[in-house]
Chain A
């Protein structure tokens, strides 16, 4: 059932990314998502960036027209919320490598937070196009995670893609699991790098979504539906999906290359 609730808090996280908080009493786990409706505009799937307590949150990067509009939503504005939907990260691994590209940190931060509170070691490879776009850097540091930064333009940390930082970390240290979210091409590289060392990888996936109930098939990904079989997929399930990192489907259902 959809609930229409006011936005209770708005935080600008980066120049292009905003966090909106709203009341949502339903229990939620890191990895799950909600359908967020901006009345008069679209309804979009957003992973929860804050999963604890009665006030949940989503962190939205300006990409399409709706996420662009979401940037200027004010406290008190009404939004529609459905969910939480989908599966969650398994929080049991003791040594976790988190690999975040761009806004991927939105779903990874609450997972890392809970892993830390259970006493796990968390290392974060945090990538962004440039320094001001590094999402949740301080949040990761404050939870006691080790953070390794990379930027495409070299304005902070290692210059280049976050995948090279992840590859170095995987080569140097033992991990029990890798959690990753970001551009699919990036996640594919992370999966390949971890596979060499037999470290299990869990990817938070995104597809065009409509019903979020496992019916309409908009978010189909090989034999899976991201809304009910995901959004978190173990890499071994994705390895048999030819579209992983190569194709997605548009609103009509047509396969289009990334």
Chain B
């Protein structure tokens, strides 16, 4: 999979309409990942679906809203007509449903399929079927048996051993893994004595989770030989390079769009080029996993 730059639009951000995906592409994203699409229309949870904080984070429980795989390909088509490199995200309740969805998604012209094995707040989906290596391997294998389109398994951090899940995805035939999805989280209003989000439990994203994502990518990189895509709290080019040095070949950016607007993609890819130059890396690839190769710290 060739990307014009390493910055992908993360799933769930600007992914409901083809026009928005095209907009993210025009703003400089290296590729755009769709909202997670399921077999049938799903309205998602009622509001409040969001709790805002300062620029350190964002809590959401959207509830996987999507118009279903029958309806959604028109949006992909709109994005593709604008020239965008589109990755299709899908979610399902079991390996059979994943396989049939993936087969449909593969016909839409997407360059890869990302499996949502990690949404922390949807009963019967996401983390609930992506938190054991056995399930992850079974789902990934079922999907890779029905399509030649490269498969990316998006791994949850809400588990003891994310690297074991990534390894399972590799065994199942995944072309890459992405990590992490949001961290399971909740907000409570003390005056109302109730959770803020309609769904109660949600997922935390934004700069607060970057160190967690980095640790997952670090450990996954040490276990698998397929490419790793880093996600979680990337706000600056330096954040992205941290992920790259931890082992990521590409990164996904989501929450920062709420703080900087979609122009963040142009800023990040320009910023990374300058930073790589400054640090003496000829190409992004040269920096992948660089932190793992560090010799003993210099204390002079």
- Chain B residues whose C-beta falls within 8 Å of the C-beta of A211 in the assembled complex: 49-50, 60, 258
How far apart sit A39 and B192, CA to CA, in the bound complex (Å)? 8
Q: Are B19 and A210 closer than 8 Å at their CB atoms?
A: no
- Chain A residues whose C-beta falls within 8 Å of the C-beta of B192 in the assembled complex: 4, 39, 78, 80
A200 interface contact, C-beta 8 A: no
Q: Are A210 and B62 closer than 8 Å at their CB atoms?
A: yes
A185 interface contact, C-beta 8 A: no
Q: Are B47 and A214 closer than 8 Å at their CB atoms?
A: no
With contact pairs A251-B65, A252-B42, A252-B43 given, residues A213 and B50 touching in the complex (Cβ less than 8 Å): yes
The prevalent SS among residues of A at the interface is loop
Q: Are A215 and B46 closer than 8 Å at their CB atoms?
A: no
Q: Are B191 and A217 closer than 8 Å at their CB atoms?
A: no
Closest Cβ of chain B to A241, distance in Å, is: 9
Residue of B nearest to A39 (CB): B192
Closest Cβ of chain B to A38, distance in Å, is: 10
A222 interface contact, C-beta 8 A: yes
How far apart sit A170 and B198, CA to CA, in the bound complex (Å)? 46
Binds A, one of B8-16, B149-157, B174-182, B278-286: B8-16
Q: Are B65 and A223 closer than 8 Å at their CB atoms?
A: no
Q: Are A44 and B44 closer than 8 Å at their CB atoms?
A: no
In the complex, which range does the number of interface residues on chain A fall in? 20 to 34
Q: Are B17 and A210 closer than 8 Å at their CB atoms?
A: no
Q: Are B257 and A215 closer than 8 Å at their CB atoms?
A: yes
How far apart sit A56 and B274, CA to CA, in the bound complex (Å)? 47
- Chain B residues whose C-beta falls within 8 Å of the C-beta of A217 in the assembled complex: 13-17, 20, 35
As a 0/1 sequence over residues 37 to 57 of chain B, the CB contacts with chain A under 8 angstroms (1 = contact) are 000011110111111111000
Closest Cβ of chain A to B42, distance in Å, is: 6
A43 interface contact, C-beta 8 A: yes
Q: Are A254 and B67 closer than 8 Å at their CB atoms?
A: yes
Closest Cβ of chain A to B116, distance in Å, is: 15
Q: Are A223 and B254 closer than 8 Å at their CB atoms?
A: no
Q: Are B49 and A216 closer than 8 Å at their CB atoms?
A: yes
Q: Are A2 and B67 closer than 8 Å at their CB atoms?
A: no
B89 interface contact, C-beta 8 A: no
B189 interface contact, C-beta 8 A: yes
**A1, A222, A223: which contacts B53 (Cβ < 8 A)?**
A1
List which A8-62 residues lie within 8 A (CB) of chain B: 35, 37, 39, 41-44
B266 interface contact, C-beta 8 A: no
How far apart sit A35 and B52, CA to CA, in the bound complex (Å)? 12
How far apart sit A78 and B193, CA to CA, in the bound complex (Å)? 12
How far apart sit A2 and B12, CA to CA, in the bound complex (Å)? 22
- Chain B residues whose C-beta falls within 8 Å of the C-beta of A146 in the assembled complex: none
With contact pairs A210-B62, A254-B41 given, residues A222 and B19 touching in the complex (Cβ less than 8 Å): yes
5 A/B residue pairs, CB under 8 Å, sorted by A: A41-B46, A211-B258, A214-B258, A249-B17, A252-B42
Beyond contacts A4-B192, A223-B19: 17 other A-B pairs, Cβ-Cβ < 8 A, are: A2-B196, A43-B48, A44-B47, A213-B52, A214-B258, A214-B262, A215-B257, A216-B16, A216-B49, A217-B16, A220-B14, A223-B22, A223-B23, A251-B65, A252-B68, A253-B17, A255-B67
The 6 A-B residue pairs whose C-beta atoms are closest, nearest first, are: A43-B47, A254-B67, A217-B16, A253-B16, A251-B43, A213-B258
